[in-house]
Structure 1
Amino acid sequence: MKFLSVILLLAFCVMNTNVKAQDPAPDNSLVIASFSFPPLLHLADNGTFSGTMGETVRFICEEAKLDCTFKLVPLKRAYNDLRHGRVDGLITLDLGQFKECCFSSKWFSEWSAGLFSTHEPAKIPSTREEILGGSLIVVNGMRSPYSFLPDMDQLAKEKSIRLYKVKNISTAVKMFAVDRADFLWGGEDFKWYLQRIAPNKQYHYKPLFKKNVVLWTQKVKSLPLMRFNKAYTALKNKQALSQNGLMIPYFMDKRYKEYSMPETMD
């Protein structure tokens, strides 16, 4: 009987060990989608994911000891991939568009958009009425122009404004550089394109729309997001992040990898 008790005890210990060995590993991975938006988010010349916001999110992931993988895909696909659970996260504006599936991070970086023009700042429109009769270039697919002109398409149809919708940022900037329109709607980061396409162009920029860029994360990934948020707070307290939510220059200069815009880019 004593021998049998020892055997049963050993069997229980082996079973208990197996159960512990099969416990799930800590959830420490995130597959994060993004889209090309230099210099904020892009594939660098060496093929690696970078950008000022991209490197900042990677920096926070490392502080949180998270295994973050970045996927750069077209904008529409990035949004669909998050909505259908094909990725764990997405770096994009906080417009409340993913509240059903996801949580937004405590980390944020403010992004502004507005009007570029060769006019003096005082003559750049601040209201819908002030732009009537003028001409405007916008990038097709951007939603921020509608915050300034909710009825932009109707105004164009009525010929109250002359509207040029183009397929990408570089085309829009090239048109603005040769004065095809009075105004160009774009983000402050469009200055990066202007510096490369038309370095001698004289212009002014008036911000008219401001929103925060955040990391949206699937609700089932709440634990990695908690670690990400904790790491963000720690880095902020250590003053490793600037007021705009990006890494301070000391770290950015070491990590940021440049994207060289092709000369033939349309």
Structure 2
Amino acid sequence: MEKFDLISNTIVLTFAIISLLPLYWLVTNSFKTSSEIYQMPPSILPAKLYWGNFKELFDGQPAVRWMFNSFFVSFTTTALSVILSASAAYAFAKLHFKGKKIFFMLLIASIMIPKETFIVPLFKIIVAFNWIDTYQAMIVPNLATGFGTFMLYSFFKAIPDSLRESAKLDGASEWMIFSKLMLPIAKPGIGALFILNFVTVWNDYLWQLLMARSKEMNTLTTGVASLQQAINPNIGLKVAGAALAALPMIIVFILFQKYFTKGMTAGAVKE
């Protein structure tokens, strides 16, 4: 058994190192000059930490505004989306109303439809509301997600109905049962959903590209992409921008990975 564990751990470690190599290369190249990035054979580590790429990024581009836009859009969208998903999931799991099964089937079916298929009518709606180049254009269309509701549904479904019935006997309202009793129990799933939604919105390049028309309204992903498209020989500047865009996602996952791993497995129970 110990020999098997050693072999399996070695295999996992090898694949982990391979998967981290692109990230390592991105970070180290952001601290190199353009000439050092292009040199052959490439250097594993920078000869000297070069901060000029980041200095040029913040001096020549509104990178601080891009970062604010990304955090504001991602956090606001995720927070509101989790609230809506949790409310809908609780209703489908614990409440009884007419057409419940039909609505739930439609919800599941919506997960199978890629966003790109309805991006044109959605864009026309945003234009009709005159929301182009605004925060609400990036936030509102991403609030209601069938995936979030379906994910939290299993958590609420696994909670014994006796807890809810006991709370109702004690005089608790439906809102109190949901907010004070059910939400704390489903916290692992909510944490996992928060991370997934945050990463999804942060990387929602296509929709943010369509909505942001001015340079100041760009998010970090679209702003960095504009550097890639610009006629600029400074590859170090572009690499620094890409590294800056990836850093928040790494930090978020490291800080909340225990909620993510626990939340992804806690809801996997048989009814």
Classify the TM-score, shorter chain.
Answer: under 0.3
TM (norm. structure 2) is 0.24
Select the structure of larger CA radius of gyration: 1
TM (norm. structure 1) is 0.24
- Structure with higher helix content: 2
